[in-house]
Structure 1
């Protein structure tokens, strides 16, 4: 885990913005200081230990949401002190061992009148959407420490924070997915009812989606690679994707094309040739890439680039 120590409110504003999303400070005690200690759990999540000393108020305003948008959700597991999460019309008071989920795509406020310690699990909305039908219905509500599902989640997240420095990258990624699964289970359990409970197939498909996005540059990425990585048959991979209305090959190609489009319009990559962009996204033949790109976007890669960088 990397550690950032802040010795003043100004340093704290920078530390939490770098660690989470763009945030601003409200009222702060003059002697306030704190630290954040973060670890990336593959593509599934980031786990951060947050310690604060002195009272503090942190806000994500509507202006910050517009200026620096994020599609992440954050779950705060409260371990010490007092605190509250305010989002929309909901106000969740945090108790030790309990927590709350909040949505970075909307304004929120965090209030901590005392010294605190918490573990924050930051996940993409897509990760939760694969496991919960309506993420917005569970944001801003308290997850009570006494609930059995929350107790299991809390114990797992604590242990993960204590041991993640000793895990390999693959182990961290796999355990990160488990943390997201447990979070979704706790959210559904506290909300009540079984609607939106995903099957193991949905969780497996989400893992395959994440694997594809992390390996787009590999020209050997194919349904067979997905089957091998997830220890299932190629036929079963095809069934999973068919249930979501596509095929593995079509999903891989669509993700490669999206990545290529993002690269072509990003001025940071203006110096890359179109052929280099194609190769970075897993296309081994420029002609095939250009044809597929034109079918998807109605313009050639060179036209989308609009004169930025070289075309050859």
Structure 2
């Protein structure tokens, strides 16, 4: 591989990747988000450019590339790995998102959401310019089962809530380099709130009666996310902070098909996984990263990480 033609730089805090061969782009795309198969019918003279930013567990990328296809194959999906939604907005050109037996044909201004925990395909023609947002599934107030009704459907920026969300995303795509610090984090979360509203309204949930249990669970999950670094985070403290019994707390998570302890461990492991793959934290020891997210026993952390991701922390760091 002619890696000398790959340009990697930092501009205004954004990571900028430029590839002048398809092999370089294939490697970059296969590792940036979730594991993907990347292909093209015209590998010669291939060119692509990516501007990427990450804020907490939200990733924003603007991608301009020659014609190519990415496939999330069933064999690439590991049990226990963190689950994400992707939202793509086409800024120019043409594209296609396929998942769950549906096809979303995208033109400029169109959007589509898809699920990384199930197979999908994304096809882009020459000149395609898109904004891709990746975020945890639990970041939405809408259930995964409800969102599954919306995957790979075309969401227009000219109708409904899309008329507000679309122009905002277009401006965001042109401003990735200027986002930084706490302001960038706040804007990323505000963007996620808009996506949440878009999904909510597209599913026609506005007229439905609110579910107090769903609201309570979302509030508890947000509290856990803010306090993952605390080694004392546990059911008793969480329940007390929300003026509920531990029995009710366990009931909330039981309805979501998990337990409080499992949820905390999964979120901590995912934060550690992201830190281990972050070049900016290359000098941080694995123990330091584990401790940063509430793991006090290195051996236990290593076992839990391998069980979740199929590799030890050191193996995962080397591979990424």
Partner residue in 1 for 2:224: 212
CA change 1:109–1:259 in 2 (3 A) is closer
**For the residues of structure 2 that align with 1:117 and 1:91, how far apart are their CA atoms?**
19
Structure 2 residue matching 1:143: 3-state secondary structure:
coil
Tell me, yes or no, if the aligned pair for 1:130 and 1:198 is still in contact at 8 Å. Answer: no
CA change 1:70–1:36 in 2 (3 A) is farther
Aligned-CA RMSD value: 4.4
Larger Rg: 1
CA change 1:95–1:282 in 2 (3 A) is same
Equivalent runs, 1:27-176 vs 2, <5 Å: 27-29=40-42, 30-43=44-57, 45-52=58-65, 54-66=66-78, 71-128=83-140, 130=142, 134-176=146-188
CA change 1:256–1:150 in 2 (3 A) is closer
CA change 1:64–1:116 in 2 (3 A) is same
Q: What is the Cα deviation at residue 197 of structure 1?
A: 8.2
Q: What is the Cα deviation at residue 174 of structure 1?
A: 2.7
**For the residues of structure 1 that align with 2:293 and 2:204, how far apart are their CA atoms?**
45
Tell me, yes or no, if the aligned pair for 1:85 and 1:140 is still in contact at 8 Å. Answer: yes
Partner residue in 2 for 1:178: 190
Gaps of 5+ in 1: 227-233, 287-292, 294-300
Q: Which moved more, 1:22-31 or 1:116-125?
A: 22-31
**For the residues of structure 1 that align with 2:113 and 2:194, how far apart are their CA atoms?**
13
**For the residues of structure 1 that align with 2:231 and 2:120, how far apart are their CA atoms?**
42
Gaps of 5+ in 2: 1-13, 254-258, 277-285, 313-320
TM-score where L is the length of structure 2: 0.66
Equivalent runs, 1:262-301 vs 2, <5 Å: 281=294
Structure 1 residue matching 2:148: 3-state secondary structure:
helix
Q: What is the Cα deviation at residue 161 of structure 1?
A: 3.5
Tell me, yes or no, if the aligned pair for 1:100 and 1:139 is still in contact at 8 Å. Answer: yes
CA change 1:34–1:18 in 2 (3 A) is same
The alignment of Structure 1 onto Structure 2 pairs a total of residues equal to 267
